[in-house]
Structures are given as C-alpha cells and as structure tokens.
Structure 1
Amino acid sequence: MTVRIAKQSNVAALFRSRLGAVSTETYLRNEELVNIVGSLIETHAASEVATLQERIMLEEALRPVEELRFAITNIALDEFAGSELWTLEMAAYMHRLGVPTLVYSPRIGRVASVFGSQGFVLTDDPAVVRKFAPNVLHIHHHAETRAARRMVGPECRTINMIHGLLPLPEWPGPEMDVYLAVSLHAKAKGALLGPPTWNDIMLVPNFFDPRRFGTRKARKRSGALIHSSRATTAYVEQMRALLKRHGLAVDQIGYGSAVKERPETVLPRYRVVFAVGRSAIEAIASGCRVILWDHGIVGPAITVTNFWHALAANFSVAGSVLPFVMPDDSTIDDWLAGQLAMPDDTEALRLLVQRYLTVDAIGARMVKIYTNRSDAPSASQ
C-alpha cells in the first residue's frame, strides 16, 4: 500500500484546494489525488465488498417505528439529482410507515414541488424543526444545514451520510452518533477528513423507487441513452460517433439536454443506457443494459459478475474500484466494443435490484440504524 498523507489538515487542504468541485475526469487524471483516496480504498475494498454482499443478501425485517420522529436535511431541494432524490424518497418512505417526518433545506426549489403533496413537513425554516422536535436527525451537508441541528436537543440521534467524493459540501460533521456513506470513495473521504475512522463509517447503498421504475410494460427497445448530468456536448458527440459503428443511435437526458422529471417513462425505450449512480440503478431496474459512463469516461458493462463491486462503488468509476477508459484513450473504441459484447445479464440484474435495492429494502435498514440506540452500527454489521 502507498503511504497516504499523514496529517489530516494536509488532506483537508487538498480537498478544499484541488479536489472539491472538480469533475470526475479532472480528478482521475491527477495521479497524486487519486492515490490519496485510492490507496485507502485498495486496503479495504475486498473485505468491504464481501461484507456488503453478505449484509444486503440477509434481508432486514422492519422494526417498530411508533416512537420515531424523523427529520432529514439536505443542502438544496432544487435539481433532480442524487442526494435531493435520496432525501425526498426516504422521507416519503418514512411517511408511508406512519412516522412523523420533516425535511429541512435552506434552498427549496423544483424537485421539492414534486414531493410537496406527499404529506410530510417540508421547510426552509429552522424554527419549524425546533417545533417538530425530532428524535432522529439524518444530516446531509452538515455545514450548510447546521441551522437544523442547532434546533434539536442533545437526546436527538444524529446520522451523518456522505454521498460523494468530490463536492465540497460532502464533509463529515463533528460529534455525530452514526456515520454512513453510499460508496467506498465516499467512505474514504469521511475517513480521510475525520472525525470518523474507516471502521466508524457504515456503507449503505443507494436505492430506487419501485413504484416508478420497472413498472412499465415491456416494449421493443432500440438505441442507446446517455442518462447523465455531466455530459458535455463534445463527449455526447464522441459517443454518437463511437456507437454509430455498432448500429446504435444515441439520445441524451440530463442537464445540458432535456431534464426528465420522470425518467421512468423514457428508460424502457432503450436497449443500452450509459449512466452512473442512482441513474444506473434505475436503468437496471427498468430492464436496460447498463454501461457506466461519466463525463466521457467509459466504465464497464454491469454484469452479475461485477455487480457487488459496482454496488460498493455506487455504480461509479470515481473510486477506481472498477476498470474504465478515459475519453481520449486510443483504446476507447475497442473497450466499448468489448463492453457491448459482454453477456446480457439484464434480467438477472433486474431481479437483483428489485429484490435488494428498493427504497423499502434499504428503508428497513435505515429504520434499524435510526432506532438502534444501544450501540452505533459499524462497517461489519
């Protein structure tokens, strides 16, 4: 293992000055920066993947929720993006269980309007959080939402989840009861920046809403779709040229193109979808073949063989857990041809995510974390 930077202050300075807010491509092109995160992941990846698979396949029974008053925070509720949708869909799940539920964000926008009629409290006012008096506060982006934490008492259980490696707001907060991460690289960020250590952070994978995805009738599929908010015009055109050789026309949805509030109506039209993160999970649930793609970087086709590694990486290339080819690599055409020729595991993968990655399945695990006051969850749970 390569020795990582010893002083946490140096690591924090590097995240602030050279890691935070850069693109996945910029990050992966910098060997020094990749090494800081990658060496830590390399040490733990094999055991983490095995533990995650064992834990997820052991299905979680839903615990009683009668005493739970649940609040969750997010930096913004504006775009149809990762942590925004995680926040609102988990809130909707908790509300369906009959749990009094509140969502706080200092910036409420378009995506919140879609969920505003679902029955839980939605507010940008910290005083409303105080009046609500939650006994569990799930915190995303602690610095940007700290006003909500100031409104709860010392008896309130605090859960801090890190969703990403590169955004600056994804910074672990101080003195939390539980630390969570959705990927190995998010977990590495939390451990590098502290206060949690690697073993203090539990990996909880992303999910999808089965009420939306995978419910459409089977239809004839054709072509390819880039489902990404990080798709520049140049990289979309590169993919069009590459895939034309394989007889695949390419469309795109996401920022920089048509933002789809209901991608579940679009995905079933396509045979192949290029995506990462939640978008990849949603595409698998919709019966699409998925090849990871981020800002021009082409990752592997998702198969039954690499599924659990991909899950631990949150279906991303950023953690260097999965192989990939950069957009200017001379081998990109051959690599893409190889991924398109991979075994078609579409139906087996669809059944995997439908069984293990629904909001109900992951929600039951979250309820266990929210209600388990006897001891904090560890990575081995």
Structure 2
Amino acid sequence: MDAYNGTTLYVKDLALGLVRRGVGVEVFTLRLGKVSREIADAGVVVTTKLAELSRPDLIHGHQNIVTRLALNKFKLTPCISWIHDRLSPLDIPLFHKNIVQYAAVDYNCAERYIQDYSISSADIKVVYNWVNLERFEKKKTWSATLNTALVFSNYANNHNYLKLIKQACEIKGVNLQVIGKGVGKEHPKPEQLIGGFDLVFGKAKAAMESMAVGCAVIVCDFTGLAGMVKPQNFDHYRKYNFGMKLMTRLTTVETLCEELDKFSTRDSQIVCDRIREDASLEKSIDLLINLYQDTILRHKRGLRNKYSASFKHTLLIWKKTIRIWLSIWTELNYPKIYKAVKG
C-alpha cells in the first residue's frame, strides 16, 4: 500500500466506503506508504503484522502472497479471492479450502481463471471496477474543440508509446501534459487536475475516472491501442475494464491521429453520463456487501473450495513470485541492504 495504482486505490475506496456503511475493516499489507497512511488517517487499521488483526468474518483477498498469509492465520475464515490483472504473477489464483468465491474485475481476468487454471465459470463472479463520484465530479465547462490532452498512466515514459502520443498531439495542435510514476510526476489527487483537459490517454481505472469527469478518453498503454471510447463501444469496453484485452492495435502516430480526429464533445457527455450511472462506488459496495454475506452464509453451510492445489501449481506461484517476496522480506528485515541494492 505504498504507491498510487489501480489495486491500492481500489482498496482505499472500498475500505473507506465500507466504514461509512458501518462495516468494520482492517487492512493487511506487506508494504506501508502513501496510500496506507491515507487509509489509517481515516481511522482504519492498516498493518504489516497479522498478530495485530482481529479475526475477520471474511477475507477479501488481493494478490496471492498476502492472501495466503491471511488464510494461514485465520484458518476458519471464508475468503473471496480476486484477480485485477490478466498477467501479473501476484494474481495467479490460490487453491485453498476456505476460498469460497473467486472474483474478477472484468471478463479478461475471469478468462484467466477459466483458460489458465481450469476454474469453472460458475465459480467466478465478475464485479466491475468503480469510480468514486464524490472525488471525480463532473466538470462544468466543455470545449467544442480538442485543445488539451493528458496522459494519465504510471507506465508512460519517454522510451515507449509516450513519444508517439507527443508526436500525434503536436501534429494535431493539441497541448499535452503527462502525470504518472513513469515520468516522476505522481499526483495524489488527480481529480483536481483531470477536469482541465479535453481528452485523456489512459486505461482501466484511470480511463473510467477521466470519463466520469467528462473527458474524451483514448484507451491505450505500452501494450497497444484500443481507441476512443464512444457511446457505440461503451458496453464492450466496460466488459473488459477499458483495459488490456482491448488494446490489440499497433500504436503509431497515424493510428493515434485517427483517434484524435474522433473527438466529439457530445459523445464525451454521453459517455460521462453512462459511466456515472453504471459505475458508482456506492452501487459497487451494495453488490460487494451482498456478495460478502452470501459467501459467509455458504461457508457456514459447509461449502468449501473444490479445487486442489497440486505441487506443480504451488511451485508455479513460488517460482513466479519469489523475487517479489525476497524483495519485500529484505526491505522489512534489512532496510539498509535493501536501499543499497535499490541504489
């Protein structure tokens, strides 16, 4: 919980949203930092020590390293295990008797369960990502022409697709700015910035937040280009979280210019209204509370995970995550060595 990214901000929104509903929340992580402090400042326990946690009614598990530790600590507690990323080694699913429900933020992640690990679609629940509409308010003024654009991504840097976006915007006479970790310009409150732009280049949660403010959005990243979000493709793009599954086109100056030419203030307003109606945080919390209650009830009735963890699968997780785990372990136990190695 040390940096601003899709998963950490998801946890922050969810934790604070559940507290507002009167649900007790505690957060277990292996890295404290910016986001954990913001959650703790709201009165929520955030800790790296399992011994400091109360026994929960449910584990909402993100990423296999911390979820496994929580399951080993709370041996009688049901768990919902989530995938946020189609490729991340941290999102290789666990097989544990108390994982009563597998969940994903879009159908691309659901396909990872099904295609890569032979988990039945009947055992998977898709609950889409959301936008905190109290933070990302609808802007009050709209430009009739495309004048300003923002790259909103932690992955963009001057050695990848960002240089192509800069060239395309220069050709089209669009003033461009960039925020994100890749250029050393993380912004803790992007909601204060986004409304000043006509268009945003981004994906997933960043794309959704930009749409909710009222910006036109071109879905793209270092993996490729999807295109401008329009009323006609909104449902399809939403199904795949405005993310990787959609970015199948080659990013070139020419294809970016083609997408910039699709700018329409009216379309941006329609998309803005759609995302604000479909993707509010409060609606998502309603769905999640119902899912939590159902999972706890099924566990009480004796339902257990029907998938067994083979030695091969366990070895796969360790092989894929061992470097991450060693990095965190070194940071926690030998911070001077960690800082020296990181340079």
TM above 0.5, yes or no, is: yes
Match among 291, 316, 325 for residue 218 of structure 2: 291
The range that moved more, 159-168 or 206-215, is 206-215
Structure 2 residue aligned with 1:315: 242
1:116 is displaced (CA, Å) by 1.7
CA contact (8 A) 1:222 1:269 kept: no
SS where residue 138 of structure 1 aligns? strand
1:298 is displaced (CA, Å) by 2.5
Structure 1 residue aligned with 2:335: none
Structure 2 residue aligned with 1:116: 40
Match among 192, 199, 202 for residue 272 of structure 1: 199
CA contact (8 A) 2:139 2:214 kept: no
Structure 2 residue aligned with 1:194: 117
Q: Aligned AA for 1:236?
A: L
Match among 165, 177, 187 for residue 260 of structure 1: 187
CA contact (8 A) 2:225 2:249 kept: yes
Partners of 2:227 and 2:103 in 1: how far apart?
26
Q: Aligned AA for 1:134?
A: P
Match among 86, 105, 114 for residue 29 of structure 2: 105
CA contact (8 A) 1:172 1:195 kept: no
CA contact (8 A) 1:88 1:103 kept: no
Partners of 1:355 and 1:247 in 2: how far apart?
33
RMSD between aligned alpha carbons? Answer: 2.1
Structure 2 residue aligned with 1:240: 166
Match among 173, 179, 203 for residue 94 of structure 2: 173
Q: 1:194 to 1:251 in 2, by over 3 A?
A: same
Partners of 1:159 and 1:140 in 2: how far apart?
9
The range that moved more, 78-87 or 347-356, is 347-356
Q: Aligned AA for 1:366?
A: L
Q: Aligned AA for 2:57?
A: N
Q: 1:334 to 1:228 in 2, by over 3 A?
A: closer
Match among 369, 375, 381 for residue 291 of structure 2: 369
Structure 1 residue aligned with 2:153: 228
1:196 is displaced (CA, Å) by 2.4
Point out where structure 1 has 5 or more consecutive residues left out of the alignment. Answer: 1-76, 377-381
Structure 2 residue aligned with 1:357: 279
1:310 is displaced (CA, Å) by 0.8
CA contact (8 A) 1:208 1:357 kept: yes
CA contact (8 A) 2:223 2:247 kept: no
1:145 is displaced (CA, Å) by 3.6
Runs of 4+ in structure 1 over 4 Å off: 373-376
Q: Aligned AA for 2:174?
A: L
Partners of 2:86 and 2:255 in 1: how far apart?
29
Q: Aligned AA for 1:233?
A: N
Q: Aligned AA for 2:193?
A: V
Question: Which one has the bigger helix percentage?
Answer: 2
Q: 1:297 to 1:160 in 2, by over 3 A?
A: same
Point out where structure 2 has 5 or more consecutive residues left out of the alignment. Answer: 300-343
CA deviation profile, 1:135-173 (whole Å, cap 9, x unmatched) = 11100112344222222242x221001000111111111
- Mapping of residues 27-46 of structure 1, within 5 Å: none
CA contact (8 A) 1:243 1:250 kept: yes
CA deviation profile, 1:76-133 (whole Å, cap 9, x unmatched) = x01100111111110111101011111110111122112221122111111122xx11
Q: 1:159 to 1:296 in 2, by over 3 A?
A: closer
TM-score, with structure 2 as normaliser: 0.79
Structure 1 residue aligned with 2:336: none
SS where residue 208 of structure 2 aligns? helix
Structure 1 residue aligned with 2:84: 163
Aligned residues: 291
Q: Aligned AA for 1:108?
A: L
Partners of 1:340 and 1:92 in 2: how far apart?
40
Partners of 1:334 and 1:87 in 2: how far apart?
35
CA contact (8 A) 1:95 1:119 kept: no
1:253 is displaced (CA, Å) by 0.5
Q: Percent identity over the alignment?
A: 22
Partners of 1:261 and 1:335 in 2: how far apart?
28
Q: Aligned AA for 1:169?
A: L
1:215 is displaced (CA, Å) by 5.2
Partners of 2:248 and 2:217 in 1: how far apart?
14
Partners of 1:128 and 1:218 in 2: how far apart?
48
Q: 1:219 to 1:118 in 2, by over 3 A?
A: farther
- Mapping of residues 72-83 of structure 1, within 5 Å: 77-83=1-7
